[in-house]
Chain A
Amino acid sequence: MTIFDAPSRDACIARRERTNTPLQALLLMNEPEYFKAAAHKAKTLMAEEGSEDEKLIRVHETVTTHKPSERSLKVLKEGLTTFREDGDDHFAWTMIVHTLLNQDSFKNKQ
């Protein structure tokens, strides 16, 4: 939480500092447990019923609370194809979930 500039809790504060640093981006990209969470979600998703499109829509909704736009869905499908060039099916789905977990709309409350 230090990296996200969370208060240290040794004193009260009226509001959180607004911060957005490359260190926070690095954490969300590379922190092992965070990446494992994506891998785990990918595994359960693959075991579920439904077409590839349905799964992409479902995981997008799970992560962001809303369904993807047509454009987003197209982008995610292309992503899945290109990630399959770099590893097996589980790896490709892991990278998709990992990507969703790195979106601005996932880490910031609007």
Chain B
Amino acid sequence: MFDLQTRRQFLNTTGMGLGSTILGNIAAQAATPKGGVGDPQTYHLPKAPAKRVIFLFMAGAPSQLDLFDYKPELHKRFKEELPESIHKGQRVTAMTKGRAKIVAPSMFKFNPHGQSGMHLSEVLPHLGSVADDLALIKSTSTTAINHDPGKTLFCTGTEIPGKASMGAWLSYGLGRMNENLPDFIVLNSAFWSGDSQNVQGLYSRLWGSGFLPSKHQGVPFQPSGDPVLFLSNPSNVSPKTRGKMLDLVTKLNEEEMAKIGDPEIQTTIAQQEMAFRMQASIPDLTDLTEENEIINEKLYGPEVKKSGSFARNCLLARRMAERGVRFIQLFHRGWDHHVGLPKKVRGQAYDVDQPCAGLINDLKQRGMLDDTLVVFAGEFGRTTYGQGKLARDNYGRDHHPKCFSTWMAGGGIKGGTTYGETDDYSYNVVKDEVPVRDFSATILHQLGIDHDRLTFPFMGLDQKLTGVNPAKVVRGILS
């Protein structure tokens, strides 16, 4: 770790009047997380059931009502107005503000799965086959009502852009597991089946390092074509010459570092070294010729053959997990179904259902599910009342922050668990609410981190992934 700060960081953390001895102290705190295992001040917990995370982020907000939150009684209330006692005049988006709130029951059948009898939508048959590995959280809630702040909150712990993302915190708090690949890799789907007109943007801040040194930021692979560009040296540059060139540029960078002390120069040096190693490690990672195509198609489904598919990215995520990448985050877009939801949700479910189940089964048969935490979440849920045209088999849904469904599997999670309850309309949480900060605290806990103690001083605050409001680990889903 490098005990250096920029001039701006110096001014932010110390104020202008303080002496350099204090700077030394604060800089040391800032650059190195406190304590080792066994230190009572440490953020390390005695146990870490999970070594790594595969976070499957469903951008656009999937409908809990049509996938996970079974409300059979709602059929009797088709086209009824949502009672005031349920919505309580709660803030809604500009899209449905002032309009009547008319109940739109899900058109999909739900079937019980596994020993626990977990009910899942008919569009998720493969996920149903691994229900006994899942902890389904029906009571997730968020404060955000629009996509960008919603995703930013889920990925960085606050709606305000620019804070450190979950993967960056883990890289900072736990260090490297491997020397040849980044700690935190992001894979975005190149295409999806649900909705190609209404596409949500993805921003590098969702995997950014914020106030943490930028070497902890996520490294996004190209969604299609070669996952990493410019891996090969120019034709006349041998690996040996490349090595000499990097030695030379490092000497020059170190001299600059000694002169101005900007820690970003250290990041450049580290990233150039990583780039050199990735020239060998990426071809090994992405070359699928050693994979058994027939088995992979059985596991992940037919889409695994297409570069850029969610299925292919799940397979790549497994290969990254095998190679010691700590945090692998997949983003699958196309879940924002304001109109024509049934057709679109079928398409999206086709994209993710079999790959998710395949990933869980693949990790399990390799003995890796026990220490790999698989997480599935979108930024919020969707309203029980319809948006746009409303028929039994065609409707849309607006954004809904007050309750939505997420799941976790592996990594010390108790499979076959259904956690939390929503009311008859899937509008409010009635039992065991899980705000985003509790969700994040639980992920950190499974990786052996006390979310309250892993902090970084920035703008006068000991910043945490879980923010300033009290957060708690969701013990009810742990094994």
Spell out A's residues near B (CB within 8 Å): 3, 5, 8, 10-11, 17-27, 29-32, 35, 69, 71-72, 75-76, 78-79, 82-83, 86-87, 91, 95, 98-100, 102-105, 107-108, 110
Which residues of chain B in 213-234 are interfacial with respect to chain A, using CB atoms and an 8 Å cutoff? 214-215, 217, 219-220, 228-234
The docked-state distance in angstroms from the alpha carbon of A71 to that of B248 is 12
Is B198 positioned at the interface, with any CB of A under 8 Å from its CB? no
The docked-state distance in angstroms from the alpha carbon of A82 to that of B229 is 28
B255 partner, pick from A24, A69, A83, beta carbons under 8 A: A69
The reply to whether A18 and B208 contact each other, CB–CB distance below 8 Å, is: yes
The docked-state distance in angstroms from the alpha carbon of A103 to that of B265 is 9
A93 to chain B, nearest CB (A): 13
Residues of A within 8 A of B238 (CB): 86
The reply to whether B241 and A83 contact each other, CB–CB distance below 8 Å, is: yes
Residues of A within 8 A of B262 (CB): 110
Could you say which of B182, B237, B249, B256 has the most chain A C-beta atoms within 10 Å of its C-beta?
B249
Q: How many A-B residue pairs have CB under 8 A?
A: 127
Question: CB-CB contacts of B330-350 with A at 8 A, as 1s and 0s?
Answer: 000000000000000000000
Residues of A within 8 A of B256 (CB): 103-105
Spell out B's residues near A (CB within 8 Å): 182, 201, 203-205, 208-209, 214-215, 217, 219-220, 228-234, 236-238, 240-242, 244-245, 248-249, 251-253, 255-256, 260, 262, 264-265, 267-269, 271-272, 274-275, 278-279
Residues of A within 8 A of B233 (CB): 29-30
5 A-B pairs with the lowest CB-CB distances in the bound complex, closest first: A25-B275, A30-B230, A22-B274, A104-B268, A5-B204
Known A-B contacts A19-B217, A99-B252; the reply to A10 vs B245 at CB < 8 A is no
The reply to whether B244 and A108 contact each other, CB–CB distance below 8 Å, is: no
The docked-state distance in angstroms from the alpha carbon of A19 to that of B184 is 14
- Name 18 interchain pairs, CB-CB below 8 A, sorted by A: A20-B215, A22-B182, A26-B230, A26-B231, A29-B275, A30-B231, A71-B255, A75-B251, A78-B248, A79-B248, A82-B244, A87-B241, A98-B245, A102-B272, A103-B249, A103-B252, A104-B256, A105-B253
Residues of B within 8 A of A72 (CB): 252, 255
Known A-B contacts A18-B208, A19-B204, A25-B271; the reply to A99 vs B245 at CB < 8 A is yes
The reply to whether A18 and B214 contact each other, CB–CB distance below 8 Å, is: yes
Residues of B within 8 A of A83 (CB): 241, 244-245
